[in-house]
Amino acid sequence: MPTHLFGGVLRAPVGVVCASVSGKISLHVSSSTFQGLGVTGGEPVSVELPQVGPSDGFYFVITNIGPPESPDLVLTDGTSTVTTVGAGRGTVVACDGACWYVALQG
C-alpha cells in the first residue's frame, strides 16, 4: 500500500550521503534521500532543491553534521529560501509538485 504525502505517492531514491560541502550544491531527484552535510569554510552553504514539478512526492532528510561553530545550510527552491539548518540540526523537506515544504525540523 503506498504512503501518501500531500495527496501523492511518497517517493525516495535509496542512499545515504555524508559529505563536506562549501559554496553551493544542487540536489536532484536522483540524489540520495539522506544527506549528512558538513559545512567547510566560514560561509553558509546554499543547498538547491530539485525543480518542484518533477519532484512531486519526493523528500529529503538533511542534517548539518558540522561542528557547533559551523555555518548554516540554506535550503532553497532556486528562487527563495525554504529553511536553514544550523550545525547539529536536521530537517525533512517534501515536495507536492508545486512547492517544497518543511515537514519536520529539529
State the pLDDT at residue 8. 56
List the Cα angle 25/21/69 in 5-degree steps: 125
Q: What is the DSSP string of 30-63?
A: TS-SEEEEEE-SSS-EEEEPPPTGGGTTBEEEEE
For the full predicted model, state whether its pTM sits above 0.75. yes
Question: Confidence band (pLDDT; 50, 70, 90) for 11?
Answer: low
pLDDT digits (tens, 9 = 90+) for 57-78: 899 999 999 999 999 999 999 9
Domain range for residue 92? 4-105
Question: pLDDT at residue 86 above 80?
Answer: yes
Q: What is the CATH number of the domain that holds 80?
A: 2.60.120
Domain count within the chain: 1
